[in-house]
Structure 1
Amino acid sequence: MKTLTPVKFCAAVLFTAGIGLTSCEQFELPLPIKSNDKVFKTEIFKKKLQESLQGARGYQFVITHKGQVADTAAYGIGSTSGMAADVNGFVNIASVTKTLTAVTVLKYLDAFTIDDKIGPWLPSSWSKHSHIANLTFKQLLTHKSGIRGGNTSWSTLMSVVGSKIDSPKTYSYSNINFALFRAMIPKLHDSITLREKEKTLSAVEFRRWMSSEYIRLVNAHIIMKAGGSERGCAPVKGRTLQMMNEAPSRLDGAGHDDWTELCGGGGFVLTTMDMSRIITYLAEKETYISANKKLLMDTYRLGWVASYDVYGGKAFAHDGALYMERNGKDSLNVGDIGLQTLIVKLPARVQLAVSVNSVDSTWRGIHGMVRNAYNASWVKE
């Protein structure tokens, strides 16, 4: 039986003198009064995500809402040795690193604009082709530089910088675009110190210094400002989740290499909880970058690989993926091992961080998975 609660309804009573008074009458109505508006249900979002991840050897995700952890999930295993799936287990976040790189670059936006040329910010000792020197920050950050390729070693970066661009400057995803910031962020931060290091260190030592300085600055500006501990681009011994395959193939898995000298377009080793803190701070606060810079980031998708319509607005996301051949065939096939990662900010102050510890014969459509789960999580009470 519903309890009747008195509610006052008021109406204006007008007198000929033009004086407005208020007359109130008390009615008995059932409370609470319900709205026709839909509300977001974390428990539905979680359930739908779990349904979409069936088949994975293991996964972990963290949902945040209004700046707080709303729910977490960890299922299955994280390694062939039986390490459990864990939101605090470490994983190579792969291309999610690009969002960290982009936000770090935007920290220094007061010193340049996204339409400025990158030439002056590359090491002066490198041979620079005019095609590369005349590229803009925006072209790198949006994968519209004309650069192709995925190898991000220092020798590859130097070769690319010294070579002409033959491909059109249309969108083409390339890890090199973001790995080049490993050589530029240290100079954006402190050009005097970089010039000194470039003069006094050997070429190999200078490249190692740029790698460590890039990692230090991403930590200082992004990871540690979100309350995390210092992280790197190398596996954490005994605590890093593996790349694995999925049933019915016989269980197989392996770790990944040290990415310290390759980081930028991929390679940071974080926990899923670390990723959650980062996407939540980016969405909810101005600790990293100002509201204007966040708008710039969203408008041009600087550091986002995808944006798509969802209930109530747009989602902005970046996913990552690694895999290792196990059957000698090109591309991902049954029996290969790998992982997938994702960070996404959604409307209504909802954020999500995901890592999946295995792959099947094709990559999961992880953006569609999130979109469908999120849309299904809005219901009328």
Structure 2
Amino acid sequence: MKTLFKSWLLALAVAVTASSCVKDKAPMPTRVFNVAKFKALLKDGIMKVKPTLPRGFSFVINQNGQVADTCYYGYGYIKGDRVSPMRPDLEINIASVTKPLTAIAVLQLLQKQNVHLDSSIGKYLPVYFNATDAVKAITFRQLLTHKSGITSGSHEYVVMKEIVKEPLAKPSKGYAYANMNYALFRVIIPYLINRTAALQIEASLVPGNTAAFELFMAKQYIKYMQENVFTPIGLNEVLCKPGPVTAQAFNEGAKLSYVDFGDWTEDCAGGGIHLSTMEMARVMAYLVYTEKMLSNAQKKLMDDELLGWDPDDSWMTIAGPSYGKGGLLYWGERGLQTLVVKYPNKVELALSVNSWDGTRRELSVIANNAYNDSWE
């Protein structure tokens, strides 16, 4: 049964003894996490969980803020007649792993602008959206935790503009995972950065050149992410579109086919950022061990409220709670999956698989089992 911090009960037996012989007893053994074992179990799990093999995958294990080990298998892309091996430094559309990165940006801006997590988003929506009062009343917390009442899986402007004019699909605002919750931050972030300037630019372009304004908002999101999330940790020119060596999405089985998911510049925020597995691991290390992106208080809030993290990827391990987010993109029987996890005991994982056969691998389950079985 999948629930947040899925039930593991840690039994703690405490014996208090007044005997003089206590000091002579051997100390309790301390279990140690074995990175090499984690690597082997994780690789084995990815390879054996389905009857078909992945075309390619790579993962990076961090420990104590440093790369502890890497693993890669298969190939990443085909260009003409050339097959490239899958590598940890080969970028990929990280899909919904984009969401915790967007959450980082939102938490930064809320603090900078002195806006509360429970403030409504209405003030930060474009005027021409003509959003309903119900949509305007949605809070930042509700968007970040998928409890807004919006249920659309789309990332597109055309769908977004229709949704905000309609009654909420789930007025009760219970949990309903929806890409549109995070896609909306593509238009909210420019107004959080500078609401007066955004309103002025909107008035100058809408309705005459609405497409230009929508491109402006998307580029503002990407610019903010670059300057405030990626540049501070040494990642330059992170985009929402493929570069010259981007991993493609393959099918599995005998007959090979692939798809390129293309340019996500105008669909970003809920997905679409392109990073390598190694770069995802770098983000995780800087998030956990530094305050370059978030303060310790903000990181605790992100974890406690699962802002950007996914309940279905955040498991209770034998060492304590983990916080994770997986991503999936597919087109028919061609697709890719990604995963980042922050484990206890100073271990992080970044993982990319660039194929599927029409059904997902439960990567966080595979990784969680491998993590738990790697303590000796």
TM-score, scaled to structure 1: 0.85
Structure with the higher strand share, 1 or 2: 1
Quick check: 1:340–1:357 contact (8 Å CA) kept in 2?
Answer: yes
Aligned to 2:7: none
Unpaired segments of 5 or more residues in structure 1? 1-32, 326-335
State the Cα distance separating 1:58 from its structure 2 match: 0.7
Corresponding residue of 1:26 = none
The number of aligned residues is: 335
What residue number does 1:294 align with?
A: 299
Unaligned segments of structure 2, at least 5 residues: 1-25, 48-52
Distance 1:361 1:151, change over 3 A: closer
Whole-Å Cα distance in 2 between the matches of residues 103 and 322 of structure 1? Answer: 22
- The sequence identity of aligned pairs, in percent, is 39
Name 1:200's counterpart in structure 2: 204
User: Is the CA contact (8 Å cut-off) linking 1:223 and 1:274 kept in structure 2?
Assistant: no
**2:163 is matched with which residue?**
160
1:313 matched residue in structure 2? 320
| Counterpart selection for 1:373 from 367, 370, 373 | 370
**1:90-109 equivalences in 2 (<5 Å):** 90-109=91-110
Opposite residue 214 of structure 2, the aligned amino acid is R
For 1:364, the equivalent position in structure 2 comes to 361
More helix per residue: 1 or 2?
2
Q: Residue deviations 1:25-54, cap 9 Å, x none?
A: xxxxxxxx9861001111111111110121
Secondary structure at the counterpart of residue 345 of structure 1: strand
In structure 1, the partner of 2:248 is 242
Farther-moved stretch of structure 1 (366-375 vs 165-174)? 165-174
Secondary structure, aligned partner of 1:56: coil
CA contact (8 A) 1:243 1:255 kept: yes
Q: 1:56 maps to what in 2?
A: 54
Residue in 2 aligned with 1:38?
31
Partners of 2:144 and 2:358 in 1: CA distance: 30
Q: What is the RMSD of the two structures over their aligned residues, measured on CA atoms?
A: 1.4
| CA distances 1:48-92 after superposition (whole Å, capped 9, x unpaired) | 111012121110111111111111111111124411101111100
Q: 1:82 aligns to what SS in structure 2? A: strand
Cα distance between partner residues in 2 of 1:171 and 1:219: 30
**Which of 157, 174, 182 is the equivalent residue of 1:170?**
174
Deviations 1:108-152 (A, max 9, x none): 222211111110111123201011001111111111111111122
The structure whose Rg is larger is 1
**Matched AA of 1:93:** I
Find out whether 1:79 has 2:82 as its counterpart. Answer: no
The ranges of structure 1 where at least 4 consecutive aligned residues each deviate by more than 3 angstroms after the TM superposition are none
1:261 partner letter: E
Instruction: Write the deviation string for residues 199-257 of structure 1: whole angstroms up to 9, x where unpaired.
Output: 223322111110001011111121222211111111112x011111123x312212112
Tell me, yes or no, if structure 1 residue 210 matches structure 2 residue 217: yes
